[in-house]
């Protein structure tokens, strides 16, 4: 599966959810159903593309934005944030990778009282769940995905910086930092 096919499936799932920003789990549920209509090879292909996107987005600048938006971001928290970002669709994904501060336009209305963070953990397992629901095994799925040879970096790419330095965050993410006030 190529990038366009991947995003077409994500958009089909997003169309079933009223508010993808607040309900990435709804996107994950819908996407699992959409993927369940595909062959095992196509589902694994989706998983390969998801892994490729996760590798592409494993960057310090995006992690810093996740840290600022969510009030912190552990390793797992950053993974889940990137799952949430996939649930927002290709346009927002591409914009965030070009300029993580652009996420201020996406998250501004959802920050505040009762805010629990932008977490799309469920998005990271939609393909394996669909694969298993369609009769495939967990082992076969991961063999197919890992066999694609996606190079996942051990350390995020780009310039590392101190996420706890408020001046640094305000300089790098003026729009997102402005939402925190």
Banded pLDDT at 109 (limits 50, 70, 90): low
Domain residue extents for the chain: 3-179
Banded pLDDT at 180 (limits 50, 70, 90): confident
What does the pLDDT read at residue 144? 94
Q: What pTM value is reported for the model? A: 0.94
Residue 8, Cβ density class (10 Å: 0-12 exposed, 13-18 middle, ≥19 buried): middle
Average pLDDT over residues 146-172: 93
- 34 touches 129 (CB < 8 A): no
- 62 touches 82 (CB < 8 A): yes
Which of 74, 68, 55 has its CA nearest to residue 103? 68
Q: Is 15 helix (H, G, I), strand (E, B) or coil?
A: coil
Banded pLDDT at 152 (limits 50, 70, 90): confident
pLDDT digits (tens, 9 = 90+) for 49-100: 999 999 999 999 999 999 999 989 999 999 999 999 999 999 999 999 999 9
Banded pLDDT at 115 (limits 50, 70, 90): low
- 142 touches 136 (CB < 8 A): no
């Amino acid at each position: 599966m190529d990038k366009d096919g991947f995003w077409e499936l994500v958009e089909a799932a997003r169309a079933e959810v009223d508010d993808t920003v607040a309900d990435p789990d709804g996107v994950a549920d819908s996407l699992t159903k959409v993927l369940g209509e595909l062959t095992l090879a196509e589902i694994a292909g989706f998983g390969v593309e998801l892994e490729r996107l996760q590798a592409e987005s494993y960057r310090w600048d995006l992690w810093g934005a996740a840290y600022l938006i969510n009030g912190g971001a552990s390793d797992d928290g950053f993974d889940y944030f990137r799952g949430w970002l996939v649930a927002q669709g290709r346009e927002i994904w591409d914009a965030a990778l070009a300029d993580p501060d652009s996420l201020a336009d996406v998250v501004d209305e959802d920050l505040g009282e009762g805010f629990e963070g932008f977490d799309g953990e469920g998005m990271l397992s939609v393909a394996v769940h669909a694969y298993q629901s369609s009769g495939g095994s967990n082992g076969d799925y991961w063999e197919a995905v890992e066999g694609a040879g996606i190079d996942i970096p051990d350390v995020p790419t780009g310039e590392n910086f101190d996420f706890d330095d408020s001046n640094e965050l305000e300089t790098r993410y003026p729009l997102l930092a402005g939402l925190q006030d």
